[in-house]
C-alpha cells in the first residue's frame, strides 16, 4: 500500500527543483530590475579632484546561467536530505510516533 520509496523521493526532488527554478528566475528578474533602475538613476563615483568614474552593469549569458543553476542545485541538495528520510519512513510508524507532525 502507498507510494514506492522512489516515488516519494521524486516528489520531494521535484518540489526542490520547482522552488529552485522559481527562486532563480525571481532573483534574476529582481537583479535586472535593480540594475536598470540604478543605471537609469545614474551611478557614478566621484574622486578627489573631480574625476568621475561611471559604472555600467554587464549581464552575460554565463552570469544568467550560474544565477539559475546555483539556486536549483542548492534547493535540490536541500530537498534530497528530507527526501531520503521520508522515502525510508514507514507510514504506519510515522503516524504512530508522530514523525509527520509539524
Residue 48: φ, ψ to 5°? -65, 135
- Is 70 exceeded by the pLDDT of residue 80? yes
As for how many domains the chain has, the answer is 1
Structural domain containing residue 19: 5-97
Report if residue 92 sits inside a domain: yes
Q: What is the mean pLDDT of residues 2-11?
A: 82
- pLDDT, one tens digit per residue, over 20-66 is 999 999 999 999 998 888 877 766 666 666 666 667 788 899 999 99
Report if residue 26 sits inside a domain: yes
Report if residue 102 sits inside a domain: no
CA distance 62 to 91: 44
Q: Is 89 helix (H, G, I), strand (E, B) or coil?
A: coil
The H or E element containing residue 39 is helix 5-41
Amino acid at each position: 500500500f502507498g507510494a514506492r520509496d522512489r516515488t516519494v523521493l521524486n516528489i520531494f526532488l521535484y518540489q526542490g527543483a520547482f522552488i529552485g527554478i522559481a527562486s532563480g528566475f525571481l532573483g534574476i528578474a529582481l537583479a535586472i530590475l535593480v540594475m536598470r533602475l540604478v543605471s537609469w538613476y545614474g551611478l557614478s563615483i566621484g574622486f578627489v579632484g573631480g574625476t568621475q568614474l561611471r559604472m555600467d552593469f554587464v549581464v552575460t549569458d554565463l552570469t544568467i546561467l550560474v544565477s539559475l543553476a546555483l539556486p536549483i542545485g542548492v534547493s535540490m541538495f536541500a530537498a534530497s536530505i528530507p527526501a531520503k528520510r521520508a522515502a525510508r519512513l514507514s507510514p504506519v510508524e510515522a503516524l504512530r510516533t508522530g514523525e509527520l507532525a509539524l
